Structure 1
Amino acid sequence: MVTTYWKKSGQPMLIGNEDQIAAWQNDASSFIWIDIQYTGMDQQWVGELLSSLNCNALAVKDVLRTRHPPKIELFQDQTFILYRGISDVINELEYNHQQIGFFINDRYLVTVHPEHSMGISQIIQLDSLTDYIEEPMLLALKIMHKSSDTYLSNMLNFEDELGLQEDALLAGEGERHMAALAGYRIKLLRLKRIFNYHQQMFAEFCSHANDDKASFIQLSKHEHYLTDVYERFERIYSLSSLYYEMCSDMVEGYISISSHQQNVSMRVLTVITAIFVPLSFLAGLYGMNFDNIPELHHPNAYYVLLSTMFIISFALIVLFKRKKWI
């Protein structure tokens, strides 16, 4: 599906399809946003359409691939951005991601993606969309800014969930929450990789703000907004790293507490065993079936043995208490 947003200078924006592209090409003073959702479309036709707009051939191949790391490339008369967008939010840490390609010129913006895009849908609903059409770079940054809003708000909401998990661990309910924490770590690790790509990409983008190579799109004019998007992804990456470390610390803390409790239990059992070993030895010694055990025929042998066993037990208990083992 191809949706176009065409605007002549001083006139209202017109929404249409690929038929508007020819009219835009014939009017050098007009601007256009071409949004291509190519699922179910002939990719060869999409490639030919992009080529007719002078899009770089290798960039076209990258945008039509199923997966490719986010990146930015500056060409002579065009900027290409490959961005990891959102088609749907499952929960705070899970998203249905898709890659979105941005081809940006001083007169047009082309967005290419396989599925519905949340960021693009949010921009379309803005009343100020007609003003952004004449600023293709700003429009692209606005779309990515909307995605970063979704990421950031969900990451901040997840902080409350982490607080609940921490309270549960302190309350001794860690056994039921360990699986959830392990799952959070896996999801956060995946998000960290995505956010790290975006952070590095926008850092590189900011470094080109005043380059002559980027002057055709007047990137320096949008430097403030570009920096804002970069700082958002830097913060999102920092939060994902922080939450990953917090989950790891909680898991390791619970394991350490469990290990300590197990050591305490083993120490108590060891002390009990140490007390009863000499008593079991004496009981076994005098329980042997030999005729000639002189102590067995002593009139007070029973009381002497019990006293000996009591003294041994008492002495061991005193020794263990002094060593603070019990």
Structure 2
Amino acid sequence: MARRKSKKRTQNYKKQVGQVPGALVYTGKKETQKLFIETFDYNIDSIIEKELVNIEEAFKFKSSNTVTWINLNGLNHIDEIEKLGQHYDLHPLVLEDIVNTGQRPKIDEFEDYIFIVLKMMYYDESETIVSEQVSLILGENYVLSLQEAEGDVFDALRERIRQSKGRIRGLGPDYLLYALIDSIVDHYYAIIETMGNKIEDLEDNLFEGLTKEEITSDIQELKREVLKIRRAIFPLREIINRVDKSESKLIDNKTLHYFGDVYDHIIQVSDTIDIYREMIWGLMDMYMTTISNRMNEVMKVLTIISTIFIPLTFIAGIYGMNFQNIPELDYKYGYHIVWLVMIVIFIAMMYYFKRKKWL
């Protein structure tokens, strides 16, 4: 069993030892995902939203005087990503990190663009955490976002761009980068809220003694979810901190205040995750204590029953001995008297146990 799990964990790392640095090897599991490219090209007065047929249609936006958001779904399409990288002058190692879905969240600054890798997470309908890598590239007048598959947390941001709500249409691509990161971080709040409800439900069940066989697997699943979120959120501190200290011309000083707000949110989520981590460990201890107490109750009842029957067995043993000369055997009411003595002993011991609060 352990050997199969180890194999499952390592099969995502498809890059072989000795492979050329910068070689594009898709490490995800969605190898049949269709290519989907959408663009939002806007300024304060107008917006053009379009679904592109091929990657070549995105090339014209590089030199436009508007803000362009190009969102690509389908990291398994290596050739298209290579074309995009060549046109936007992306470093080969950047392209390698984009298609490596096991990449740790990070930030790399270049002269003409900033590259950021994040983990986007949300609960699906079955309350299972969906984790997907999102790569963000900030250029002079554009933001590229590359995802493994369709389905993300940016729908509210798309609506804000369409309806020109807030300040999104009046600011530059650096603010768009902030809005994308903020959308990802905001959904961490939804995750920890749902996780908090799960922990409270488990606590209530444990306090009420409503334990079940699946509770250990539920606790283990929560532990895995907490670790997954922690691995995603913890590196974000470094990323936002580096953005805040960045001297890149691509980020305006006014936008840095918004990144500071995201940093505060990340700290809050990180602290909450650490608290939940301790609570989940406490749940396991509480479960083991509950099982131990239940076992003690069972042993107490069995001990009481054994104690009650010890004198009764002693009496029955004496009168069950095969001696020829037992005076009580000839007594007319001897049988009834023995039963009466045993019943009186039973009642007396039950009364004694109750007074001692052993029952």
What is the TM-score normalised by the length of structure 2? 0.70
Aligned counterpart in structure 1 of residue 296 of structure 2, from 259, 263, 268: 263
In structure 2, do the counterparts of structure 1 residues 283 and 68 end up closer, same or farther at CA, with 3 Å as the change threshold?
Answer: same
Unmatched segments (≥5 aa) in structure 1 = none
1:48 aligns with 2:83: yes
1:105 aligns with 2:105: no
Partners of 2:228 and 2:218 in 1: CA distance: 16
Aligned to 1:72: 107
* Contact 2:233-2:266 at 8 Å conserved across structures: yes
Q: CA deviation at 1:131?
A: 4.1
In structure 2, do the counterparts of structure 1 residues 142 and 235 end up closer, same or farther at CA, with 3 Å as the change threshold?
Answer: same
Deviations 1:83-131 (A, max 9, x none): 1225x74148423332111111233211111222423333222123894
1:228 aligns with 2:261: yes
1:12 aligns with 2:49: no
1:193 aligns with 2:230: no
In structure 2, do the counterparts of structure 1 residues 256 and 85 end up closer, same or farther at CA, with 3 Å as the change threshold?
Answer: same
Partners of 2:107 and 2:67 in 1: CA distance: 23
RMSD: 3.9
**Which amino acid in structure 1 is aligned with residue 172 of structure 2?**
E
Partners of 2:129 and 2:217 in 1: CA distance: 14
Partners of 2:63 and 2:297 in 1: CA distance: 83
Find the residue that maps to 1:118 and give its secondary structure.
Answer: coil
Q: 1:109-188 residue pairs with structure 2 within 5 A?
A: 109-126=143-160, 127-128=163-164, 131-132=168-169, 135-157=172-194, 159-160=196-197, 162-172=199-209, 174-176=210-212, 179=214, 181-188=215-222
Find the residue that maps to 2:140 and give its secondary structure.
Answer: coil
Q: CA deviation at 1:299?
A: 6.2
* Contact 1:38-1:46 at 8 Å conserved across structures: no
Q: CA deviation at 1:142?
A: 0.8
In structure 2, do the counterparts of structure 1 residues 163 and 196 end up closer, same or farther at CA, with 3 Å as the change threshold?
Answer: closer
Find the residue that maps to 1:119 and give its secondary structure.
Answer: coil
User: Which stretch shifts more, 18-27 or 196-205?
Assistant: 18-27
Partners of 1:289 and 1:250 in 2: CA distance: 59
Partners of 1:3 and 1:24 in 2: CA distance: 12
Q: How many residue pairs align between the two structures? A: 317
Partners of 1:183 and 1:314 in 2: CA distance: 44
Aligned to 1:34: 70
* Contact 1:209-1:219 at 8 Å conserved across structures: no
Find the residue that maps to 1:274 and give its secondary structure.
Answer: helix
Find the residue that maps to 2:145 and give its secondary structure.
Answer: strand
In structure 2, do the counterparts of structure 1 residues 207 and 279 end up closer, same or farther at CA, with 3 Å as the change threshold?
Answer: same
Q: CA deviation at 1:43?
A: 1.4
What is the TM-score normalised by the length of structure 1? 0.76
Q: Percent identity?
A: 22
Name the one with the larger helix percent.
Answer: 1
